[in-house]
Structures are given as structure tokens and as C-alpha cells.
Amino acid sequence: MKIAVAKGDGIGPEIMSAVLKIFDANKVPLEYEMVDMGKWVFDKGFSNGMTPEAQQTIERLGILFKGPMETPKGKGVKSVNVTARKTWNTYANKRVFQTLHGVDTVFSKAGIPIDITVVRENIEDTYGGIEHMLTHDVALSRRFITRPGSMQVIRYAFEMARQKKARRITCGHKANIMKITDGLFLECFYEVAKEYPDLKADDIIVDDLCMKLVTRPDTFDVVVLTNLQGDIVSDLCAGLVGGLGFAPSANIGDHICIFEAVHGTAPDIAGKNIANPTALLLSGFAMLRHLGLTENAAVIENALLYTLEQGIHTGDFGDKSKPSLNTTQFAEAIISNFGKKPELNAKELLANKPGTPTPLKLERNTMLESKEIENEKIIGVDMFIESNEQPDVIAKKCQRHGGVKFNLINISNRGTQVWPTGSVYTNLVNQYNVRFESIDNYPLNQQDIIGLYVSLSGDFKIASIELLNMWGDKKSYSSAAGQ
Ligand code: NAD
């Protein structure tokens, strides 16, 4: 079986070579095709950080094992790590955080075991990076949460939880504030939960989740979250088990999967052969198991756990009174412990299974669309206008443009209503949301909206607009605070 390997930047080549050395010593039946991605590829002028040959190889082989990569600062290029996850639709980011015997933390010292799997949505949310300055004072980021995207990642999380025989699967969210976006994610969670009656499914507001993770981490098992919240919560979980040096990550898609460590290129220690290869090695175990190489994964993991139990460590963790090993020596120590079993959490030696088939060759992009059931009609529009005038002055101007079809309903600033009611204590920025609805809920069409846009543009610069839709009797938009 062949996989694509990108060594990465900074400590990437050092930890990748340590991990591949361990795989080779265990006769892992994999062949590696090295691909060019990362900093020097950006420097050569490839704006997505990978060569076309690298892309072809990864799409042909379906598996990428990668070291951390640097995103050049201030060149306007996007992170190759994020681009890779999005281009190949690796919609689920799975990170496993387990107590490791020999890696001291406040929880291991207190005898509180941790075994948490965080599944983070990996494509959507603010990570689209679709951002605009609407005025010189106001920046806007578009946050996409989609029904099919949420269903994909949540379905994966439930399936994985069932395989893990999880005690509990929890959705972290902020649907009390972001009722439409996080509300949709939560709705999808409970829709999928119906198909898994054997699993205890519940939800928790993300700030409460963070507090409970640091006080009672042992009460959580599988946690599924949207992208940005998942990003933050998974680093928090890495801290619970000893830091980023122990945080593996699998980016799972239907066709292509990417396995990598959570940490970055560690420029401060690069080139010194002192980096800890454990996180990349743990990511490697996830890859081996994904490929059916369960026996190889178990033998090497037992050797790693045994090595950690012996107090053997690199410079970034462990008992500082004992000398640390460098990256190469640490890899050699693991190799010398093949066949040994740790006292805690020894892995069962399940025989290797036949590898997953070569990924499907796709002819065209897959359209993810769920069935529309309700009648949709446009009943109004939000116009985001630039102005530094007072709300009542803006209201008077706007009312002139409503004509026979539109009523001015309210005006808000940074999401807080400032007209027809409001408070003079609300600070303003030079961008308002002016909401018009149709008179008597009469259905509008796009030409009506454009007519209003043209008329209003005589008085204001309009930065953006959003339609106000009704689906059946359900509003598809939020109300302003105080409305
Ligand atoms: P970092 O994770 O590289 O380093 C943070 C700290 O942790 C440093 O002190 C570093 O020495 C230490 N550290 C990290 N990995 C270690 C290891 N394996 N062994 C021992 N110590 C380790 O984070 P950063 O400094 O914020 O980012 C550096 C670069 O990495 C940036 O260019 C960033 O864009 C990139 N990055 C890449 C990825 C990825 O490829 N997936 C992820 C995060 C950051």
C-alpha cells in the first residue's frame, strides 16, 4: 500500500524521519511517495503551498501523512494546512486525548483518567476566511454553518462513538446566542442522535464545557463541535493530557484523509534534533488503524506507552531530574521496546485487516444538498449601510425610500436595536443594519429588493444586503437585541 508523505517545515523533517524509522523497524507494509508542500513551495511561488504534482499524488493515493507546515506571514497566502483540509473535504477532525502513563499532569497525579475524543467540523464556520472591511472601522467575517456539512461530521462522530463503545456523546455549542448557525448544528446533532438510540447523546454550552473539562474531564467521552469552538476546545484538551507534544490529529473525508500532529513547526527548536515525535507517532497510529494495520499500530503503541512508563522522555516533558533523550534516541528507545507491554492501557494485538480500497476516482464535484420541504418567500431585506449620523436621522431618510412595498421595521448597530426604541448609552459605529419588511407580509421578489437598493443608494453607501426569507411559518433570520 502506498501513501503520500510530506515532511513539513521546522521540526517536521526531524519528527517525520523518526516516525518513519520506527515504522520501518516494525516492517509496516507501507510505501511512501514524498510530496512537496510547505514553506519552500510557497517561496517558489505556488500560492496554495503545494505543487500540482503533490496534489495529483495525494488525490491518487488518498492518504497524506504530513509534518507541520509554516504559513509565510504577511504574504497574503492562506495556510496550506487549512487549504489541504478544505480542498479535499476532510470534514471531520478527530483528536484523541488520553492519559499517558509517564506523562505527569495534575489529573494523572490525582488519579483522574482522561479519554476524550474531540471531533471538530473541519471545513466551515469562520475558517472559510471570507472577510471584508465594510467601512474603514468595521470588519465582517462570514460564518457558514451548513446542514449537509454538519450532518457529515456529526454522522462521523456518532459512528466513531459507537465503534469506541463511548459512554456519552456531547455536542458543544453556543446556540443560546447564535440561534441560527449553532442552532442548525445542534438540530442536526439531535436528528442524527435518533439513529443511534444505543448512545447517550447530550449537549452543553461551550463555555460551560470548557469549565467542566478542566474540573471533571473524566465525565466526557466523545465531544463534537463546530470548527472554531472545536479548535479551541481541542487545544484545551491537549493541555489536560500534557500539552501539544501528545496531541494527534486525523482529518477524515470520504475520499482523502490527512494525518498530522496538532502542533506547529516549533521554529524555536528546529534543526536541533530535540523535538518530541510522540504526537506525530500517535497520528501515525490513527493512520495505520484507518488502513487496517491494527497489529502494527498496537505493537508500536505498546512500545511507546512502555517507553513513557519507564520515564524516558524528550526535553519538553517528564522528570527534569532525569536526562532527556534527543529525537533520534527517543525513536530508538521505542524500537528497542517492541514486544513489551505497558502496565496501563496495553493495546490488544488485533491481526491486520485488508487495507481500504484505493479511493474512488471522482468525475465531478459532489453537490451536498438536503431536500427543501417548506415554501420559501422573501418578506424583507437587511441593508447594511455606512453612516455616522444619529439613528433618527437615518430613519427619516430611510422611510422616504420604502415606497408602497416596504416598511422600515428597525435599525440596529452591531446587532443592538437603536431605532424605533433604544438607548443613548449604546455606542455606535459607522455601520447600521436597516431592516425593511414588506407591507402586510406581501411576498417580494428580487427586483423589488433591487428597486429599494437603487433608491436607498441615493442617500447611503450600502456595504451589503441580506434577504429576509420565510420558510413555511419559520423566519430564516435573527432579531436584533432589544427588538
Ligand atoms: P508550535 O506548535 O510550533 O510551537 C509552540 C511551542 O510548543 C513552542 O515552544 C515549541 O517549541 C513547542 N513544541 C511544539 N511542538 C513540539 C514538539 N513536537 N516537541 C517539543 N516541543 C514542541 O506553534 P507556533 O509557534 O504558534 O507555530 C509555529 C508555526 O507552525 C507557524 O508558522 C504556524 O503557522 C505553524 N503551524 C502549523 C500547524 C500544522 O502544520 N498543522 C499547526 C500549528 C501551527
- Bridge partners (DSSP) of residue 468 are 380
Instruction: Confirm or reject: Cβ of 12 under 6 Å from ligand 1.
Output: no
- Give me the percent of the chain exceeding a pLDDT of 90: 77
280 Cα nearest atom in ligand 1: 18
Q: What is the pLDDT of residue 74?
A: 67
Ligand 1: which residue has its CA nearest to atom 32? Answer: 70
* Residue 274 confidence (pLDDT) above 80: yes
Q: Cα(20) to centroid of ligand 1, in Å?
A: 20
Instruction: Confirm or reject: Cβ of 81 under 6 Å from ligand 1.
Output: yes
* Residue 358 confidence (pLDDT) above 70: no
Ligand 1: which residue has its CA nearest to atom 12? Answer: 266
- Give me the percent of the chain exceeding a pLDDT of 70: 98
Q: Cα(330) to centroid of ligand 1, in Å?
A: 19
Q: Name the range with the highest mean pLDDT among 39-53, 58-72, 128-142, 184-198.
A: 184-198
* Residue 209 confidence (pLDDT) above 70: yes
Q: Cα(267) to centroid of ligand 1, in Å?
A: 7
* Residue 103 confidence (pLDDT) above 90: no
Q: Cα(248) to centroid of ligand 1, in Å?
A: 13
Q: What is the pLDDT of residue 75?
A: 65
Calculate mean pLDDT across residues 380-406.
96
pTM of structure: 0.90
Ligand 1: which residue has its CA nearest to atom 1? Answer: 264
Q: What is the pLDDT of residue 72?
A: 80
* Residue 169 confidence (pLDDT) above 80: yes
* Residue 357 confidence (pLDDT) above 60: no
Q: Name the range with the highest mean pLDDT among 74-83, 160-169, 339-348.
A: 160-169
* Residue 413 confidence (pLDDT) above 70: yes
* Residue 186 confidence (pLDDT) above 60: yes
Q: What is the pLDDT of residue 366?
A: 86
263 Cα nearest atom in ligand 1: 2
Q: What is the pLDDT of residue 201?
A: 98
Instruction: Confirm or reject: Cβ of 3 under 6 Å from ligand 1.
Output: no
Q: What is the pLDDT of residues 293-346, one digit of tens each?
A: 999 999 999 999 999 999 999 998 888 888 999 999 999 999 999 999 999 888
Q: What is the pLDDT of residue 14?
A: 97
Q: How confident is the prediction for the chain on average, in pLDDT? A: 93
Of 321 and 399, the one with more pLDDT = 399
Q: What is the pLDDT of residue 244?
A: 82
